Amino acid sequence: MNSLNKAINWLLDWVLRDLKWLGFLLLYLIDSLFLTLATQQASHGSATNRTIGSMLIYSGLLLAFITWRYQKQLQQNNPRLFGRTPFTGKTVSQLIGFFLLMLAIQYSWSILITTHILPSPANQTAINQQVIQLPFWNLAYAVLLAPVIEELIFRGIFLNYFFSKNTKLMNFLGIFVSGLIFGFMHVSSFTPTLIMYSALGWVLGYSYLHFRDIRYDMTLHFLNNALSLI
């Protein structure tokens, strides 16, 4: 009976963690909907300004809430000792190495697209179109805000919710699963494009466990998004 109760409690706890994490994801998707709506209203100045204003208020509250929740998680359970890793010559050179790896993935991907082996990602095409319609805010969101929120959700909160034990197996599974979900957020089908997006997520996941500091991941994500838009 005790074993059954433990199994039920574990299952209920797992479901609760799933719902909480999906809640964070839903809050982020609502934020991106504000930007989509503002982009669609680009030809209507006053309506666009009101929507952008609402988005900025919502984004600020969302960022504060997710950051608070992430810090709360670390206070309650932090076996990997995530925190602040000082920027030194060594860590910066390692960060450059991670960025070059992401650059290699992007470059290989672009070759596969230009040679028509892979199609151009629909997600990137949609972003490019939005940038044309409403350049400043779409660029600012994709380069500055999205990397911060996505890293907190997909790396920070996710790994602490589902893969908190500091073992080689949990670390591997955490990187693999978080990267795969990150890929599915950009393309919702099993295609080679999913692998390319997931590969970027795997690099970010490994970087997070390597540096033990979410700021390094945010920097990498920022550089990657800036490169993609350029």
Q: Mean pLDDT for each consecutive 10-residue tract of the chain (230 residues)?
A: 75 87 94 91 80 94 95 91 92 96 93 88 79 88 93 93 90 95 86 91 96 96 85
The confidence score (pLDDT) of residue 230 equals 67
The C-alpha atoms of residue 162 and residue 164 are separated, in whole angstroms, by 6
CB 153, CB 66: distance < 8 Å:
yes
Show the DSSP H helices in the chain as ranges: 2-40, 45-76, 89-114, 122-133, 135-140, 146-151, 158-162, 168-184, 192-211, 214-229
The C-alpha atoms of residue 140 and residue 131 are separated, in whole angstroms, by 10
| Residue 105, amino acid | I
Q: What are phi and psi of 212, to 5 degrees?
A: 60, 30
The confidence score (pLDDT) of residue 125 equals 78
With tokens 């609760």, the residue in question is 16
- Structure token pair of residue 216: 């390094």
Candidates 146, 141, 219; CA nearest to 186 is 146
The C-alpha atoms of residue 168 and residue 166 are separated, in whole angstroms, by 7
Sign of torsion over alpha carbons 9, 14, 19, 23: positive
The C-alpha atoms of residue 205 and residue 162 are separated, in whole angstroms, by 14
The confidence score (pLDDT) of residue 1 equals 60
Q: In 10 A of CB 145, how many CB atoms? A: 21
